[in-house]
Homo-oligomer: A and B are copies of this chain.
Amino acid sequence: MAIILGDHQYGKAESRLVRIYRDQPRHEIRDLNVTTALRGPFEPAYLIGDQSNVLPTDTQKNTAYAFAKSRGIEAIEQFGLDLARRFVHDIDPVEGARVEIEEYAWERATVDGTEHDHTWLRKGQEIRTAAITVDATGEYVIAGLKDLVILKSTGSEFAGFLVDEYTTLPETHDRIMATALDVKWRYDGTELAWDSIYADVKKIMIKEFASLQSLALQQTLWHMGTAVLKAYPQIAEIRLKAPNKHHFDYDIGRFGLENRGEVFIAADRPYGLIEATITRDDASDAGEAWRFSAGLA
């Protein structure tokens, strides 16, 4: 019964990298948060403190900033592939690399009705994400978004649920449904039109959320996910995580006022949390792509 080192990885988390393109009068901006992690034969670092196989996390950071210039940043999926391949192919002991990137959106400032050349406002809405894994089994690209806060003021029901002795929730056939979407989808392939697919996947999900007369947040997620898979055979599977951000009717009947779905208190905690994977019955093997942390078997 020996004690052994199991899964492990190490890297540099959250390098905030801003890339400006200024070759033209109209500048461009890409604003990233880059995390890299390496996997391989690093046991000696753990067992005896021998770093000879360990490329410093500081070097991983330097590589990201150097590549921002030498390779440039088109789509974050491509930039992640470039970085991951560099570590796995060029650094001898490294066997696997995982690169996670968040991208923050900016929109051009409007001045006198015209978009400005070099001034932007940080755009809210969602954070775009990418998680790239390169190892001996292949190359995997997971794209996604998080913090896309979306709300509908009608077209949502919740009724007919299971009842036990602790159930006090009334049924409803008209409520606010609101969530902050956290969605990831895995691509088949590494040569795709990353930016345009991203934009379209977002559009599809918003349409389904808005259009479906929802009987449950679960049903909404299913419709969103299946619509994406139908539209894009290049997407092997999609995983959705959606907090049910409760908006409770405020009881103003006590003050002689009728509340016909008009006045709500938005609650912070607790919140419902719905998670689902929507996939294909012949989906390709995902390898290590979904292992975001070494701490997960």
Contact = CB atoms under 8 A, between A and B. Distances in A.
> Closest 8 A-B residue pairs measured CB to CB?
A124-B124, A49-B215, A6-B277, A122-B149, A119-B210, A275-B294, A46-B222, A51-B161
Interface string A40-58: 0010011111111111111
Given A260-B22, A265-B16, A277-B5, A252 B122 contact: no
A52 B161 contact: yes
B51 A159 contact: yes
B22 A237 contact: no
Contacts of A209: 109, 119
A263 B68 contact: yes
A16 B151 contact: no
Contacts of A211: 111
Contacts of A244: 57
A63 B166 CA distance: 6
Main secondary structure of the interface of A (DSSP, over half): mixed
B29 A69 contact: no
Contacts of A45: 216, 218-219
A230 B276 CA distance: 39
A56, A176, A292 — most chain B CB neighbours (10 Å): A56
Interface string A49-90: 111111111110111011011100000000000000000001
Contacts of A122: 124-125, 149-151
A255 B216 contact: no
Contacts of A269: 13-16, 268
Nearest to A264: B18
B109 A210 contact: yes
A2 B157 CA distance: 28
A271 B49 contact: no
Contact of A111 (B206, B215, B250): B206
Contacts of A155: 118
Contacts of A57: 244, 270, 272-273
B252 A65 contact: yes
Contact of A8 (B10, B48, B275): B275
Contacts of A292: 296
A277 B5 CA distance: 6
A107 to B, nearest CB: 9
A164 B239 contact: no
A192 interface: no
A150 B121 contact: yes
A281 B7 contact: no
A173 interface: no
B286 A297 contact: yes
Contacts of A93: 162
A214 B51 CA distance: 12
Contacts of A252: 65-66, 69
B9 A121 contact: no
